[in-house]
Amino acid sequence: MKGILIIALLLACLPATAQERGAAKVEFRVTRFDPGDRKSPVFQVGPLEKQVEVEVPLTYIAGPFEAVLRDGRFLDFREGTEEEPGITVEIAEGERKDLLLLFIAGKAEFKILKVRTPVNRIAGGDRYIVNATTSDLAFKLGDSKPIRIEPGKSGLLKGPGGKDIVALPVLISQKKGDEWELASTENWYCDPRVRKYLFAYMSPRTGHLTFHPVSERL
C-alpha cells in the first residue's frame, strides 16, 4: 500500500514538472520614450509564481530578460504588489527571441511597441524610427530612396552597409496640410557596429522636430 501511495504521488508531480519544463518563454529587451523624463518604471513581469523584475530605462536598452508567458501567449507586467497585470502584451510564437519592447509614455500609461530585431532585419548602421508626431515624416539618407512614416507608425531607414563608418546627408521632411516642408538637413553617421532607435517628436520646449536616440551595439 505504501509503495502504491509513493507511485501515485510521483505521478501527480509529473504533469506539473513537465508543464514547467515545457512552459513557453520569451527573451526580450526594453527601453522607453518619455519627453517628461519621469522616473524609470519598474515592473514585475511574468506569472505571479515566477516573476522577473524589469526596470525600463530612458537612455539605453536593458536586458535581455527571460519570462514565462501566461497561457503560452501573454506577457504580463505588474507594478508594485498588484495581482492583476497593468499591461499585457501578446507574444506570437515567432516573437520569442530577438524582441525589443519600446515603452512609449502617455499621460497615464504606456503603449508598448514590439520590434523584432534579428541582425538580418535591423543591421549595424540602420535606424528604426518611431514617428511620435501628429504629421507624416519622410527621411532620405544619402542617395537612397526616401521612406515615409505616418503618425504613430514606425519605419526602418537602412544604412549603406559595408564595414566602414560613414557620414551621409539626410533630408527630413514634414507634411503640413497638403504640402511637404523641409524640416531639417543633417549629417548622420552610420556605424556598422551600432544600430539606432529614434523617436521623432515635437519638443514641448522649442516646438521644433526633435529626436530621442537610443543606440544598441552589436
What is the tens place of the pLDDT at every residue in 123-143?
999 999 999 999 999 999 999
Residues 73-88 have a mean pLDDT of: 91
pLDDT for the residue 23: 86
Checking if the pLDDT of 78 tops 70, the result is yes
pLDDT for the residue 70: 94
Question: If residue 16 lies in a helix (H) or strand (E), which one and from where to where?
Answer: helix 2-21
pLDDT for the residue 106: 85
Average pLDDT, the chain: 90
Task: Identify which has the larger pLDDT, 5 or 164.
Answer: 164
Our measurement of the distance from residue 208's CA atom to the centroid of its chain's CA atoms, rounded to an integer in Å, reads 25
Checking if the pLDDT of 63 tops 80, the result is yes
Question: What is the DSSP code string of 97-137?
Answer: SSEEEEEEE-SSSEEEEEEE--TTTS-TT-EEEEE-SSS-E
pLDDT for the residue 82: 80
Q: Which amino acid is at 109?
A: E
Checking if the pLDDT of 19 tops 60, the result is no
pLDDT band at residue 206 under the 50/70/90 scheme: confident
Give the least confident one: 6-10, 48-52, 140-144: 6-10
Q: How far apart are CA 107 and CA 90, in angstroms?
A: 23
Q: How far apart are CA 62 and CA 60, in angstroms?
A: 6
pLDDT band at residue 22 under the 50/70/90 scheme: low
Q: How is the beta sheet containing 127-131 ordered, strand by strand?
A: 154-157, 127-131, 194-202, 209-217
Residues 37-64 have a mean pLDDT of: 94
Checking if the pLDDT of 5 tops 80, the result is no
pLDDT for the residue 17: 44
